[in-house]
Amino acid sequence: MSCAAGRPTFRLLDRRVGWTDIGPEPVPCHLTEWYDPEGIQLLLASGTPAQGVIDVPTLLASLPPPRLARGCGPGSWLLLTPCGMVLRRDPCTGRWRPVWRVEHPPEGLEGARALASSRDRFAIAADGGVQVWTIAGETQVAVIAVKDAECLAFVPGGDLLVATTAPGGLIVLQRFGPVGVPSSRPLALTIPGPICALAVTADKTVWLATGADPDPRVLWSGPLAGPFQKATAAELAAAFLPTGLIGESAAGFCLQETGANGAILTSCTSWDGHPIPASSVPPPALPKWLTSGSIQSGWIDSIIPRCQWHRVRVDADMPPGTGIEVSVVTTDLDPTTLPKGLPSAADWQSGPAGALDLLVQQPPGQYLRLSLTLTGDGTNTPVVRSVRIDFPRRTSLDWLPAVYSENPEAEDFSERFLANFDASIADLDAAVSRFPALLDATGVPGQVLPWLGSFLDVVFDPTWPDAQRRTILSTLPTLYDQRGTLAGLCRAIFLIFGVNPAIRELATSRPWGALADSSRTTANALVQPNAVVGSVRLFGKAKSRFRIGLSALGSAPIHAYGNPDLDPLTAEAYRFEVQIPRGTTGLDHCRLTDLVDAQKPAHTAVTIRFGGDGFVVGVWSAVGIDTAFEPLPGPVLGAAGNVRLRRASLVAAGPPRGRLPLAVGVSSSVGVQTSLE
């Protein structure tokens, strides 16, 4: 009921506040319980409750099948073929390449049926047991003697979880350490197999799905030590990033991704790693539901004698082929004293099939009872989340002159007539008042974020979590103001990839000359005291492009365009370099390149450098890339060595003299007055 002071104005029926004021909770017929987290819906045709049941497309959206495993980074996958080969998908090209050379496949992988991967390892379940390999496939780490494993999953910390089915048909989970030694006792679950999916989240929550075609899947979750309970599709979607898988069959699977230009790309692959048409992967069969079910609420007390009830509004989903019928009945007598058989079937008021907003046209009464009838076509079911009952009747007749309310019959007709328009106007007013909330990226549901992104001209990657999408949408006003600037590009890269890049404009590092005051003294070789215009070279024109008679061979590029006299102004202009720090893992190079191209000004040219071994000293020196710090070779005396002892000969390096011979970045200038020894 409403929490405002005074009498109540509505009654809300849902699983949190209950469905009755007087009498026990009624028992639904062919429907789920009142307190089902998913809402009230039809039962499956097999008669099992719908709680925990999940369809195959929803399961694939979060958990891949046993033969597929996520790789390192978006778009990267590992595939286990029926012959025991492991293929790795290139996220840039979409091609599948073998991990091992075809002519030297490993032994003992006959009957391979399940695959799991982590950042540095992957595991394969086959007839001969479970093999664990390093992620590149060059070293076999462990062999686990479990020959009937059905699913595998790595646990944060390095352990491997192996799922098997006991002789009684129940699932057993076994946990092994990094070298294949059992790290805990086997956990026997009271869950019947077969198991079709297994995964572990970062907080070590185990998720598994059971069932086989054509039966529906049942979803379970729990800690490593148990117990397990049925879970919902919403909880599964919140626990894992989307996989992008949209279909699976005996022929192969289909993967959906976002292309460079924001287009949705769908690729289908056979279990051998070959491209196949989408028609080869038919949509999975949907679960079969009952076609009819009903339930009645208890008596709802308005606390108002002779209350004129106003509206009944149902919050529900009705897929095609389904319907909901709402019926109500009122009375002013104490429901506990009603004679047997009352209210009769003729006393009920039923709304049109499929109408979720019903105007109550019952005699005034303090108590009301609600009935819901759900129908379906066997492949879909309606879902009722809550019901709101408004009372007493309030219409715009209250704002009209009193002459319209003098006649009781005319007043009743006017109220019912105006209530139809009041309902539409109230919905419009509510939508207008809630419209600012639709643009609040931090408050809208996750399902609204793609629409909000398209509204603001942003295309989301399917693998991005909701938290990252909300952050991007909240930062868009700042990004639009800074687009085309260094700050805007740095912010965009950090939001998408979580990396702080170093961006260098090449034009600012050109060796310009300078004019200085005659009284100024400086150690910079580019600034000369008493410099005179015309006597100081501001730019090396022989280095900007090759010129006959001026440039040395191999020291300048050859250009067949532009005016050579303008080279001092245009060389290195409109060019910049994006440097990604070393140690960045899981970064998609192709996506980073697309992002930089989309955010930079169109007339500029960019070079992207990914950090590797070594470090960069200054601007022009790259120490560790093509330079090595090594001691001088030992001297050899005699004719073969061609070494003659003299004053400047170095026989061996002497002991340190209390300080390091070279301190880069402190007071040393590499290549000018410093000798590396």
- pLDDT, one tens digit per residue, over 548-570 is 877 777 777 787 777 877 776 67
Q: Are residues 247 and 110 in the same domain?
A: yes
- Which of 342, 364, 394 delimits the end of a domain? 394
Please report the pLDDT score of residue 530 as a whole number. Answer: 53
Same domain assignment for residues 75 and 216: yes
Q: Does residue 592 lie in a domain region? A: yes
> Tens digit of pLDDT for each residue in 254-264?
998 887 666 78
Same-domain status, 233 and 301: no
Do 303 and 250 share a structural domain? no
Per-residue buried b or exposed e for 49-75, using 16+ beta carbons within 10 Å of the residue's own CB: ebbbbbebeebbbbbbbbbbbbbbebb
Q: Which of 52-61, 148-157, 212-221, 505-514 has maximum average pLDDT?
A: 148-157
The domain of 333 spans: 10-43+289-394
Give yes or no: residues 208 and 330 share one domain.
no
Give the model's pLDDT for residue 271: 93
Here the CATH number for the domain that contains residue 310 is 2.60.120
In angstroms, rounded to a whole number, what is the distance separating the alpha carbons of residues 6 and 303? 11
Question: Domain for residue 204, yes or no?
Answer: yes
Whether 636 maps to a domain, the answer reads no
60 and 198 in a single domain? The answer is yes
Query: What is residue 328's predicted lDDT score, i.e. its pLDDT?
Result: 95
555 located within any domain: yes
Q: How far is the C-alpha of 82 from the C-alpha of 77, rounded, in Å?
A: 16
The dihedral of CA 247, 269, 212, 193: what is its sign? negative
State which H helix or E strand residue 350 sits in: strand 349-350
What pLDDT, on the 0 to 100 scale, is given for residue 392?
A: 87
Residues 250 and 158 grouped into a single domain? yes
Indicate whether 150 and 245 sit together in one domain: yes
Per-residue b/e over 456-482, b at no fewer than 16 CB within 10 Å? Answer: eebebbbbbebebbbebbebbeebeeb
Classified as helix, coil or strand, 424 is helix
In a domain, 593, yes or no: yes
pLDDT in tens, 17-38: 777 877 777 778 888 877 777 7
pTM for the whole structure: 0.51
The answer to whether position 219 is within a domain reads yes
Last residue of some domain: 560, 590, 610? 610
Same domain, 73 and 38: no
Last residue of a domain, one of 240, 258, 276: 258
Q: Which domain CATH number covers 200?
A: 2.120.10.30
Give the Cα separation of 184 and 224 in Å (integer): 10
Query: Per the structure block, which two tokens stand in for 405?
Result: 């309310």
User: Which helix (H) or strand (E) segment is 317 a member of?
Assistant: strand 311-317
Q: Of 152-156, 382-386, 537-541, 607-611, which gets the smallest average pLDDT?
A: 537-541
Cα separation, 33 vs 46, in Å, equals 16
Stretch among 140-149, 372-381, 489-498, 613-622 having the lowest mean pLDDT: 613-622
225 shares a domain with 83: yes
Inside any domain, residue 637: no
Maximum CA extent, the chain? 132
Q: Are residues 73 and 215 in the same domain?
A: yes
Q: Does residue 461 belong to any structural domain of this protein?
A: no
Report pLDDT digits (tens) over 367-377: 999 999 999 98
Report the domain count for the chain: 3
User: Do 350 and 228 fall within a single domain?
Assistant: no
Q: Tell me, what's the pLDDT at 637? A: 64
Span of 48-52, 108-112, 130-134, 526-530 with lowest mean pLDDT? 526-530
| pLDDT above 50: residue 513 | yes
Give me the percent of the chain exceeding a pLDDT of 70: 79
For the residues 428-432, what does the mean pLDDT come to? 76
At residue 65 the predicted structure's pLDDT band, cuts being 50, 70 and 90, is very high
Comparison of pLDDT for 69 and 661, the residue scoring more: 69
pLDDT of residue 367: 94
